[in-house]
Amino acid sequence: MNLDYLWQGFAVALTGQNLLVGFVGCFIGTLVGALPAIGPINGIALLLPIAYTMGLPAESTMILLAAIYCGAEYGGRISSILLNVPGDAGAVMTAMDGYPMAKQGRAGEALALSGLSSFVGGMLGSLGLALFAPLLSRLAVGFGPAEYFVLMIFAFATLGSMVGSQPVKTLIGCALGLMLATIGLDATSGAYRFTFDQPELSDGIEFVVLVIGLFSISEALIILENQGRGMTVIRELGRMTARMSDIVRCTGATIRSSVIGFVVGVLPGTGASVSSAISYTTEKRLSDTEGTFGKGDVRGLAAPEAANNATACGAFVPMLTLGVPGSGTTAVMLGALMLYNIQPGPMLLTEHPEIVGGLVASLFVGNVILLALNLPLVQIFARVLTVPNWLLVPGILVLSVVGVYSSHSSVFAVFLMMGIGMAGWLLRKAGFDMAPIILGFVLGRVMEVNLRNALAISGGEISILFSSTICIVLWIMAAAVTILPAYLSRRARVRTLQPT
């Protein structure tokens, strides 16, 4: 197997600038993950325009965003353990055994141990990514407009499982994203659509504007709204290192969960919340002979943490090799590539090995940095949980406005972002998730353009969509992926709900 791209990637990731960028990303990511209010997607949305305006090259920006993403998976455990409030979706299961441990005065041990299992999960996940990416990329040459269109169908099929509990709202959100993507110049007819004679809208809604509006602005509004909801932080951390006996006890659970996490991450549409639930229930079934799970069992703590970090790495596989985002966060990262005029897709590894390699290599480097950050500095991160909202909310808003204005130098974009933020806030109050909107937006444009280009080539013959082997395989995968994750998450849910 040809791993040249990875060695080339290490050369990219280990330059001074990229090491610094990775370190900053890891630090911010851990903070973002630890704060229950904001998750990895908010962190990425806020930092993307700033990185772009600072003139960071594409690979450095991707390293920064990836470091934030992975850092957030580490950071999420802190609030799960100390607050019993998961810092992000992937850390929900961490609270099951982490919080009981903290209540027993073993918070420091829980943080150290979960930091270690996060590291193992992240490293194994990165290894999987490094081996998988070139395999899938070999398919690249055969992709024409028809194949891309079916690929997008496949990507949309995976959406059904993303917010499986609310299929209708997911579909509506997705449709909204698709509709927003139609604004602007229509390449196939040359006509302006829904621009209302505003030249600012002639290229459509800018991705950064949409992402910051939907995630950051609406998040700030939600935090303001939830003012005064009390939370108690556990401040007695106790012993700050993990016991050797506990580490040995967790080894099996950590490795099994890393594998589960990676595989689930590769399946687009199933994120860290699913993988941590599956790994937790798997471990419970395998090893819970004394009924200690849920009462502070170290294995119940290690399993979901290893899994959610491995999932974060696995999610890069479809993103880097096919240009299909596996989660809302990777969708934002795909948008970031497009911002740099880099078309994500099967050709990415061939055309930009420095970006793919640099990103994969930076995951290895980042995990080492994160381990180093998270073991000794965990007390500092724990203190972040007490940041008052009067500081947090204006901070988010200032970063949003500065970010959007600096990358577009247009007041129109700032107002558009505010409007989208208000709309996003209303949608969230109505129980909508924002991720399907972003996915619909990102994938919608690619899907429309490729369908129409495919039909332009065939002269309107629909058969072109079924004409190649790649197309047919993708249609079959789309059908499979609609059914499989729903089945998996139902199994996971049934088991978590079983009385202990």
Partner 1 sequence: MSKILMNTLFGAAVVMFAFVASAGAEPAKPECLAGAKPGGGFDLTCRLAADALLKTKQISAPMAVTYMEGGVGAVAYNHVASKRSKDANLITAASSGSALLLAQGKFGHYDEGAVRWLGAIGADYGVLVVAADSPYKTLGELVEAYKANPADFAIAGGGAVGSQDWMKGSLLAKAAGQDPKQMRYVALEGGGAVLTALEGGHVKVGSGDAAEMVKHHLAGKIRILAVMAPARLPGDLADVPTAREQGFNIDWPVWRGFYVGKEVSDADYDWWVQAFKKAMDTPEFAREREARGLFEFKLFGKDFDERVRADVAQFKILAKEAGM
Which residues lie near partner 1 (CB under 8 A)?
141-145, 185-190, 192, 197, 199-200, 202-203, 341, 343, 347, 351, 408-410, 449, 453, 456-457, 459
Q: Which residues of 388-418 are buried (b: 16+ CB within 10 A; e: fewer)?
A: eeeebbeebbebbbebbbebbeeeebbebbb
Which residues have CB under 8 Å from 5's CB, separation 6+?
Answer: 133, 134, 349, 353, 356, 357, 360
**426 or 457: whose CB is closer to partner 1?**
457
**161 or 407: whose CB is closer to partner 1?**
407
**347 or 423: whose CB is closer to partner 1?**
347
Closest distance to partner 1 from the beta carbon of 350 (Å)? 10
**55 or 499: whose CB is closer to partner 1?**
55
Closest distance to partner 1 from the beta carbon of 342 (Å)? 9
**142 or 291: whose CB is closer to partner 1?**
142
**202 or 251: whose CB is closer to partner 1?**
202
d(CA 380, CA 408): 36
Q: State the DSSP string of 314-356.
A: HTHHHHHHHS--SSHHHHHHHHHHHHTT---STTHHHH-HHHH
**95 or 324: whose CB is closer to partner 1?**
324
Nearest-CA neighbor of 88 among 231, 336, 271?
271
Closest distance to partner 1 from the beta carbon of 63 (Å)? 20
Q: 88 and 40 in contact (C-beta within 8 Å)?
A: yes
**15 or 458: whose CB is closer to partner 1?**
458
Closest distance to partner 1 from the beta carbon of 126 (Å)? 29
Q: Give 466's DSSP letter.
A: G
**315 or 417: whose CB is closer to partner 1?**
417
**112 or 471: whose CB is closer to partner 1?**
471
- Which helix (H) or strand (E) is 184 found in, with range? strand 184-185
Closest distance to partner 1 from the beta carbon of 39 (Å)? 29
Closest distance to partner 1 from the beta carbon of 9 (Å)? 21
State both tokens at 400.
Answer: 């949003």
d(CA 410, CA 415): 9
- State the chain's maximal CA–CA distance in angstroms: 71
Q: What are the φ/ψ torsions at residue 221 (nearest 5 degrees)?
A: -65, -40
Closest distance to partner 1 from the beta carbon of 7 (Å)? 24
Q: State the DSSP string of 33-81.
A: HHSSS--HHHHHHHHHHHHHHTT--HHHHHHHHHHHHHHHHHHHHHHHH
Closest distance to partner 1 from the beta carbon of 154 (Å)? 19
Distances 218 to 15, 59, 225, 327, 448 between C-alpha atoms, Å? 37, 29, 10, 19, 28
Closest distance to partner 1 from the beta carbon of 106 (Å)? 53
**172 or 185: whose CB is closer to partner 1?**
185
Which residues have CB under 8 Å from 167's CB, separation 6+?
Answer: 160
Closest distance to partner 1 from the beta carbon of 457 (Å)? 4
Which residues have CB under 8 Å from 377's CB, separation 6+?
Answer: none
Which residues have CB under 8 Å from 361's CB, separation 6+?
Answer: 6, 9, 10, 12, 13, 14
Closest distance to partner 1 from the beta carbon of 360 (Å)? 23
d(CA 20, CA 43): 17
Nearest-CA neighbor of 216 among 414, 384, 493?
414
**Is the alpha carbon torsion for 208, 210, 213, 218 positive or negative?**
negative
